[in-house]
Structure 1
Amino acid sequence: MNSPVRVKICGITSEADAEAAVAAGADAIGLVFYSKSPRYVEPQQAAAIARIVGPFVTVVGLFVNESATQVKQLCDEVGLHLLQFHGDEDEQYCRHFGQPYMKALRMKPELDVAPLINQYPSAAGILLDAYRPGVPGGTGETFDWQRVPRNPPRPLVLAGGLNPENVAVAVQATGVYGVDVSGGVESSPGQKDAEKIATFVRRAKTGENSE
């Protein structure tokens, strides 16, 4: 029997939104430490959010070409469980911190994803995200899910344009380990909608389609 897909709610900026994600049954929350993002969260606020989610919800820190010093400092200040790298970070950089990490790959049309996954043998997982030039994540766009490798060497997490209406179809089409959503469960950039979160998590885990 297959395990239910894991769900991460990314771009959490408030304690209330974190509580909504936990109440809905999310497995992980994402905190964005990329200052150009509308979902950027200050370290002090991130630490407050991390404290309220409880011990069994993974707190993920998202970074884009950040200095190693800053990553280490935020790991200590916030209490991150998993690091997520969305820039040009190589495998040596990613494993340098001695913490589990997930490497995001942007699915350019010409990208051969399987060999690139193999460049990160130490990764806990690989996140596949839609590609838009100059935008390292949170595009709100999907990509061709038929490009998701089957039987990959690392657990795969699907991102890019997911929402309560399409997540069940996405999971069925790809068989991924997990799904990652941000804008698809928001009322405005950085502001989550508790009802959308609950619907997204339920449909992701049960396969219930929208009507």
Structure 2
Amino acid sequence: MVGMIFQNPDNQIIATVVEDDIAWALTVRGMPAALIVERVADAMEAVSIAHLRGLPPHKLSGGQRQRLAIAGVLALRPQCIIADEATSQLDPLSRQEIAALLQQLNREHGLAVIQVTHLLEEAALAQRIIVMEQGQIVMEGPPPVIFADLERLRQLKLAIPEPIELAARLRRVGFPLSPGALTVEAIARELVQ
């Protein structure tokens, strides 16, 4: 099964209470009540919203609503999650939290995560990147390979993340950074070694 997380979480929130919203898809599938309770609890725990269980979704922040949407998908136990611009309507902190959550779900739950994004700082965290232009694949590979060709990314009118620009400038002036130094943290670790 494939689960889908949309750009606007409000497009997939149905119920008037957080816990009921997560249970909705399980209920309409006719799952036993005990299994629904277990899966809802597991999903809320996985995305850190158990403390919000009795609240109405409209009282949640954007990041919390996106977590609710993810929990609703997780309760179905998909093998793959497609996140379609799932962070684009969020503030920078919530964007980082949701991106980290998707990585955690991949690592800890073995879920395949396909993240559709125009934000290269999110793409830099992926295991593999596919760059598309007008429906065609124009670049693909692991992040170090993709970000080794900044000129091509600029030609595609993609905004290069500041840490990746910084790493490129440091390499040009002689700092021996590895191709995998794509975040501020990774750059700092390599500079102090």
TM-score normalized by the length of structure 2: 0.32
Q: Greater helix percent: which structure?
A: 2
Between structure 1 and structure 2, the one with the greater Rg is: 2
Higher relative contact order (CA 8 A, sep 6+): 1
Name the structure where strand makes up a greater proportion of residues. Answer: 1
Q: Structure 1 length normalisation: TM-score?
A: 0.30
